[in-house]
Amino acid sequence: MKQYDLIVIGGGAGGLTAAAGGANFGAKVALIDKGSLGGDCLWTGCVPTKSLIQSAKILHTAKKANIFDLEVHGYPNFKVAKERLNQSIATIQKHDDDQRFIDMGIDVYHGGASFKNANEIRIDGQTTIRGKRIVIATGSRPMIPPIEGIKETGFLTNETALQLEKQPKSLIVVGGGPIGLEFAQSFSRFGTKVTVVEMGTSILGKEDSELVPYVIGSLKKDGVEFITGAKVLKAENMDSGKQVIIEQNNQQKTLLFEEILLASGRVPNTDKLELENAGIRSNRGFITVNQKLQTNVPHIYAIGDVNGYYPFTHKAGYEGKLVVSNAVFGLKRNANYSNLPWVTYTDPELFHLGLTEEEATNKGKEIKVYKTPLDDVDRFVSDHETNGLIKIITDKKGMILGAHAVGPGAGDFMQEVVFAKQYGHKIGSISNVIHAYPTHVGGVQRTADLYWREKLVSSSITNILKKYVKWFR
């Protein structure tokens, strides 16, 4: 039986980071994955979906050519979009090729992993290897909600929707979160009639409520319809399509669509790991970990989607780095998600960092809120892209508690605020940085300028300074 210092189960962002980090520091590492390395992000998530979003945006932009007295005719070829996303996957997959990790000295195994005991892992029930430390990074998959008849009727998920050869004529999206909305807007821009059904009273329930209407308005302009406060009860096949029964305000309505896309959450890939053989605790399939990412079995760690904290690729990568410190070097570093940003890649993009205004208020904090609409930012004005808002929340001393933005490229131009928050810089520090003009990030500087403007207006020393300036002149 082969012995390893570190066994990593799962070849996604977190697992690959942990395996490479361990090998680079001299640990003997085994990496196990049931499919091709790269994880959901590469094959069915971040990479292909962003390619689809960009293809849909090109179509959307082309239609704007009528302002220059140009006309666009015909129907978009969805196969081209699929070819583009496959090209993106193929290019990026080279970074996650088996040989790259083999060259690092890592033993790569392909097959299903399960625990024989707390130190031994079986691969496809045959090969068994032993590890001193073990990292579980098996990711998640789409949740299939308990809708009567849904399996018999057939449905799409974020995985299978990317395999379509042509866009459906009509589509119901079950779930108003980031995944559902990104697909809804993309398909709508390709010409699909899209309806989003959300159980909550609004979409994007975790986002700052002041910014969400910008996204809703944009999607509605693209033709997306919303049914909120509603639940899908039943689905069945009809000669003319897939019939869906929806309940809203205690009333039922029947709708007909060509396809159903389920985007109502994720479940962890832990059901085949036989966690009980190692005595590992879990809750609804999510593995319970402490702040050091250890399970209740101290030499076994869980990172990424399987531990239930924030289902983002960049979060899994962060945890992969952290677990190298703890599992390979024996350090006791805690995970800290207070500076974890995320982005909903609709058009406009929606950026989230830290507390929303509602959350900060509910915590009883004395806060300041600084806001800049994009029509006050010269670069957005010159681009004629002014649908959006930048919002930064601080405590009374100017320390950043949260930052949110909606606008074209918000996920990029707000990154400066992540740095400032993580390293304890006050909002005023951003104002003091020289920003090139005109840029989109100038909107962040303009928002930070409001801090000093307020300080000068409310400061008791202002009158003294005015008298000094008058004397000096």
Neighbours of 408 (CB within 10 A): 18
Neighbours of 68 (CB within 10 A): 7
Distance of CA 134 to the CA centre of its chain: 26
How far is residue 13's CA from residue 95's CA, in Å, rounded to a whole number? 11
- Residue numbers belonging to the annotated binding site: 50, 138-140, 175-182, 198, 265, 305
76 contacts 368 by C-beta, under 8 angstroms: no
Neighbours of 381 (CB within 10 A): 13
- Residue numbers belonging to the annotated binding site for NAD(+): 175-182, 198, 265, 305
- Residue numbers belonging to the annotated binding site for FAD: 50, 138-140
Q: What's the CA dihedral at 75, 76, 78, 83 to 10 degrees?
A: 140
Strands 140-142 and 127-136: unpaired
How far is residue 196's CA from residue 226's CA, in Å, rounded to a whole number? 5
